[in-house]
């Protein structure tokens, strides 16, 4: 899952990025509205954390532009606690949820997880495919009720496929959603990780759809 953080406060930006990376997300960051708008317009994100008060272009304008251009990724807006008008403006512009500052990073994480799940059409925090269960809250995978140890890359790949279960996901889409913008997109790592996941655990869960991609 690839997340964009647009926040001009450098400390807060770093804190959010750190927390997201710790939780297994791939994160790109921007420190002003223009840069953030550009990234959200050109890169595929599974969710965006967008501050409302930003230099160059404010968060509401960034979001309005994305929505006008059909960019419909889930957006969690960061607003000031005492400015209820900000929250209304954010929701009107197309925000899916908001968190008021100052916040506990755990709250941001919980809301983000819920947004990503809902965007993929899952109401519960646990997604099950056959004998495999993904607990999005704990970032844990179990197979036949036994916990399974995965590397962060393996987890991300499996988590993306499970969030999109039943759909064919192309190799390009996986690369775009599992790695940040500096990743070498020509490498064969996806095949390697799919192979490892199959060998390690549950060969039946990832199906190769010839010429198109993979399906959980």
The pairing of strands 26-30 and 2-6 is parallel
Closest to Ca ion by CB, 98 or 179:
98
Closest to Ca ion by CB, 51 or 86:
51
- Least Cα distance to 25 among 104, 99, 105 occurs for 105
Partners of residue 140 on adjacent β-strands: 135
CB of 42 to Ca ion, least distance (A): 22
Q: Is the peptide bond before 102 cis (omega within 30 degrees of 0)?
A: yes
Closest to Ca ion by CB, 51 or 154:
51
What are 71's two structure tokens? Answer: 């960019």
CB of 58 to Ca ion, least distance (A): 9
Name the DSSP letter for residue 169.
Answer: B
CB of 48 to Ca ion, least distance (A): 15
CB of 8 to Ca ion, least distance (A): 5
Closest to Ca ion by CB, 17 or 194:
17
Residue found under tokens 């297994």: 24
Residue found under tokens 């059909």: 70
Alpha carbon 204 to its chain centroid, in Å, reads 25
Binding region for Ca ion (CB under 5 A): 8, 51, 53
Closest to Ca ion by CB, 63 or 127:
63
CB of 163 to Ca ion, least distance (A): 30
Give the DSSP H or E segment for 183. none
């Amino acid at each position: 899952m690839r997340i964009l953080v647009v926040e001009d406060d450098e400390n807060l930006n770093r804190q959010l990025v750190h927390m997201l990376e710790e939780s297994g997300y791939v994160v790109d960051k921007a420190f002003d509205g223009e840069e953030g708008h550009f990234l959200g317009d050109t890169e595929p994100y599974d969710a965006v954390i967008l501050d409302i008060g930003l230099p160059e272009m404010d968060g509401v304008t960034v979001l309005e532009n994305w929505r006008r251009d059909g960019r419909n990724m889930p957006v969690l807006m960061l607003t000031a606690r005492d400015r209820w008008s900000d929250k209304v403006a954010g929701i009107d512009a197309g925000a899916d949820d908001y968190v008021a500052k100052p916040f506990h990073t755990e709250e941001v994480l919980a809301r983000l997880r819920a947004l990503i799940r809902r965007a993929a059409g899952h109401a519960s925090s646990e997604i099950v495919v056959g004998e495999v269960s993904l607990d999005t809250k704990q970032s844990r995978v179990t197979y036949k009720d036994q916990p399974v140890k995965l590397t962060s890359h393996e987890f991300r790949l499996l988590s993306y496929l499970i969030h999109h279960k039943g759909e064919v996901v192309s190799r390009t889409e996986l690369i775009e959603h599992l790695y940040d913008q500096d990743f070498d997109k020509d490498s064969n790592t996806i095949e390697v990780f799919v192979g490892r996941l199959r060998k390690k655990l549950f060969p039946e869960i990832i199906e190769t759809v010839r010429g198109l991609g993979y399906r959980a």
